[in-house]
Amino acid sequence: NAGVMQNPRHLVRRRGQEARLRCSPMKGHSHVYWYRQLPEEGLKFMVYLQKENIIDESGMPKERFSAEFPKEGPSILRIQQVVRGDSAAYFCASSSGDDGYTFGSGTRLTVV
Amino acid sequence: SQKIEQNSEALNIQEGKTATLTCNYTNYSPAYLQWYRQDPGRGPVFLLLIRENEKEKRKERLKVTFDTTLKQSLFHITASQPADSATYLCALSPYNQGGKLIFGQGTELSVKP
């Protein structure tokens, strides 16, 4: 059981480029959550997805950010036209719905 | 306003002592509360979950209490070891919000040999 896999671990983008962050949940987990952790701040909820459905996107900025969890393949968090303020660690977590969450190691996005 | 707060000051204790970390919340009705450990540069690791109808939960050297009247959870590590040094996060899951977690800012624990 490989756990929650996120890639890339580190991503550097220039302002205005697109960032794509991938997350493969644990085998058997159908719930995926994305969180953002800014330097010196706590983890903030962004979006909750199940296969092919966005359940709760109340934490997602209204513009430039989108997320999907297709029937096949990993969940993707997409940030268009990145700005310096998007620099953060982005964590994905999965659960079976019954107990604690399993987090990935995160993607550290740096916008230069 | 809704808040979830943990001791902001780092906690420094001697090896072998019990570490106690506090998590207070206001204006939430959590279905359950979870505690995680996070090491620098890593993702959070799940430790314990306690439901609103449970007063206490234990796992090895860890103990969590949950007082819905005081709106507080306490997290204890007994016989602490230097390897327990990390940041500890509490997170609550409000009712009817699909299991999303609201995290506190974390308390950094340092256990000295």
Q: What is the pLDDT of residues B16-47, one digit of tens each?
A: 999 999 999 998 888 889 999 999 999 999 99
The tokens describing B5, both together, are: 């707060």
Amino acid in position A59: G
* DSSP conformational letter for B78: S
Portion of chain A with pLDDT greater than 90, in percent: 80
Q: What Cα–Cα distance (Å) separates residue A102 from each residue in A4, A34, B72? A: 7, 12, 24
* Candidate from A4, A48, A100 with C-beta closest to B49: A100
Three-class SS state of B24: strand
Cβ atoms of residues A102 and B44 within 8 Å: no
A54-71 pLDDT, tens digit per residue, is 999 999 999 999 999 998
| Bridge partners for A89 per DSSP | A37, A108
The first and second tokens of residue B56, run together, are 């206490």
Please provide the size of chain A in residues.
112
| Count of beta carbons in the 10 Å neighbourhood of residue B23 | 25
Contacts of A31 in chain B (CB under 8 A): 99
Closest CB from B46, B49, B91 relative to A102: B46
**CA of B49: which chain A residue's CA is closest?**
A100
State whether A56 and B97 contact (CB < 8 Å). Answer: yes
Q: Under a CB-based contact definition with an 8 Å cutoff, are residues A4 and A92 in contact?
A: yes
Whether A98 shows a pLDDT value over 70: the answer reads no
Q: Do A42 and B101 count as a contact with CB atoms less than 8 A apart?
A: no
Chain A residues in contact with B46 by the CB 8 A cut-off are: 99-103
Q: Which two tokens stand for residue B102?
A: 């609201």
The answer for B 79-108 residues in CB contact with A (under 8 A) is 89, 91, 97-106
What would the mean pLDDT of B60-83 be, rounded to a whole number? Answer: 96
Smallest CA–CA distance from B48 into chain A, residue? A100
CB A5 within 8 A of CB A23: yes
